[in-house]
Structure 1
């Protein structure tokens, strides 16, 4: 390929988003045939809204643009019910007018200038600090969890509940890839559920039943779900045993409950291992101050056993800067810094000197994630237990 610099193309099913980046300057369309094929297949496979993200596409020549435009035009003509949103950036000043000119010819093709790293087109919740964290976290953990979930009992055709579903991204992925016969997703945040319903509508996922409710006192009948998930939630409850009792209650005998939790003090990075280690040990203390336990991961086995489950399975995996784009990992850490050092530590009353040192560990973790020879990790425990027959 005779390009001045390499380019990348990938499809992100979490966001239903095709991402183009780098410089695309082929001498002929055949040189980018694989990229064009991926684009065409993605547009054919998904319904609702599909995003074409060109925010990191620095250059494209007329050969590549013409081939890309032909695929977009054909898709718009053959599937008028499906919407394609092209995401451009004001940083790349050339891209917006070029794609807007194309969009004028097709009512189901639009251009959005959007410079946030957050989920495309959903800016109405950006002021809620945890939502962009959760979105990117799910994108990175899903690479591991979709392989683990069958080992823990998830398969097509089951009746599934996702408790503390938050913004609904995990439920959407389960619905799309595992095809449950029924999927109920419950959360206590009205705004998160509004977000989740909007995502489901955009992605044409009509089967998910989003439900408002308190996870510790759910208005769901006993023994009705084959598989119950509750991810990254027990660790933020001050009485996790109460929530586990409810998960046990709604699970069918013989069914399984699947939970994920962290051990934040084991986040790691190199270079600057020591400052990173110190900061995440302080994160664990900070959460304990607010009656939360982000060290819960290794405790999963005894928590499930104490709640009455048997046939317990436990897996661990490390989310790293090598899982896809290192910038995604860096984005998570920067978001953690903003919430933990910018809000929680301030609320606890920590001194400016402590907060400065606290922030430095996050900054060093970002540095490790983006360093060409660096390594950064975030450990997750995934565990499940069976409700006895």
Structure 2
């Protein structure tokens, strides 16, 4: 309802969920009377728990808030049997603050910031110690990806979005190499975006739009971009299908979505291959315990097909110690060890004996990378697909 006024309101009877999205800025209560009547009707017909979902409500002025809060208060006071849960998002932090006084005043009203626990490993990824990992990873993978991206559909002059952009170095490299007419970079970590802006400044790039947002519920209109990228990110979300749904939505019909993911248990090295193999098998188990799937790479085709894409292309490549300076590869592994063994395994509660063996595999991988006759590899799957016209 009322899409022409900048907002949408939909009631899902099966879920007892009333969703309001867009911008709700009426000059008077009369302007949103259809919404208030629909909300009032929905509240009168439900039993048990009613969900008021405002996680994609980008703007809400005081006129609209008074209408919504008034209805919630009225029903909350008159129907103590009904639980009302207001679902907000940390991306729209103001909405949580706006509705929390209702929850403090009414015992049957709660406010839930739905994405508070959505990213199980987010704390590790936002720590400063992860930045060396990301920078080295991009440095090593770019040598391969710059040649793959045209095959997957990226051409100069396109509109491009880099979702889950992290520290922003890939967006900068893509901007310099392919010169898109527009490039938007979105991430859920404010600290990563701050760093991304610094990276862009270092490269002398000024025309990237940096956006703070949740990749599973982006406040971006449909059908906006010719080429949408999401690199090394589906594997760290426990619900990758939700991310793919959003990538599909913001991609133009006929445009393409490009993803990269890993299969960590296939990291390899020689000499000391057995120790290396054991450690990376344990890396995959460790991430799984934090509800992340660093084995997702070969599953990319299935995920894209299930999301409704067509013309799926899949490439795999091995990043190795022979791709430039072997020390770059070694530095990346050292950064992995610092976070995976130094933080994640410790926080999981692993024993000192396990962590010592775990660390040894990383050190053996570094040994293989720097050995004059050694070989060390890290496998990546790059996949893309077209949104049907």
Superimposed CA distance per residue, residues 183-228 of structure 1 (whole angstroms, 9 cap, x where no aligned partner): 0000011111111112212322111111110111001000010000
Residue 251 of structure 1: aligned partner? 251
Residue 132 of structure 2: aligned partner? 132
Correspondence list, 1:343-382, <5 A:
343-382=343-382
Structure 2 CA distance for aligned equivalents of residues 324 and 136 of structure 1: 12
Secondary structure at the counterpart of residue 216 of structure 2: coil
Q: Larger % of helix: which? A: 2
Distance 1:202 1:291, change over 3 A: same
Structure 1 CA distance for aligned equivalents of residues 127 and 241 of structure 2: 31
Alpha carbons 1:232, 1:259 under 8 Å: kept = yes
Secondary structure at the counterpart of residue 129 of structure 1: helix
Distance 1:127 1:234, change over 3 A: closer
Alpha carbons 1:162, 1:230 under 8 Å: kept = yes
Residue 68 of structure 1: aligned partner? none
Alpha carbons 1:172, 1:205 under 8 Å: kept = yes
Secondary structure at the counterpart of residue 381 of structure 2: strand
Note the aligned Cα RMSD (angstroms): 1.2
Residue 234 of structure 1: aligned partner? 234
Structure 2 CA distance for aligned equivalents of residues 295 and 136 of structure 1: 20
Secondary structure at the counterpart of residue 292 of structure 1: coil
Distance 1:127 1:230, change over 3 A: closer
Deviation of 1:229 (Å) = 0.1
Alpha carbons 2:256, 2:386 under 8 Å: kept = yes
Secondary structure at the counterpart of residue 254 of structure 2: strand
Name the larger-Rg structure.
2
Alpha carbons 1:321, 1:375 under 8 Å: kept = yes
Residue 202 of structure 1: aligned partner? 202
Secondary structure at the counterpart of residue 378 of structure 1: strand
Q: Which runs of 5+ in 2 are unaligned?
A: 1-124
How many residue pairs get aligned? The number is: 265
Deviation of 1:324 (Å) = 0.4
Alpha carbons 1:220, 1:250 under 8 Å: kept = yes
Residue 224 of structure 1: aligned partner? 224
Alpha carbons 1:365, 1:376 under 8 Å: kept = yes
Correspondence list, 1:148-297, <5 A:
148-297=148-297
With normalisation by structure 1, the TM-score equals: 0.67
Correspondence list, 1:275-354, <5 A:
275-354=275-354
Alpha carbons 1:164, 1:185 under 8 Å: kept = yes
Deviation of 1:342 (Å) = 0.7
Superimposed CA distance per residue, residues 67-112 of structure 1 (whole angstroms, 9 cap, x where no aligned partner): xxxxxxxxxxxxxxxxxxxxxxxxxxxxxxxxxxxxxxxxxxxxxx
Structure 1 CA distance for aligned equivalents of residues 375 and 348 of structure 2: 31
With normalisation by structure 2, the TM-score equals: 0.67
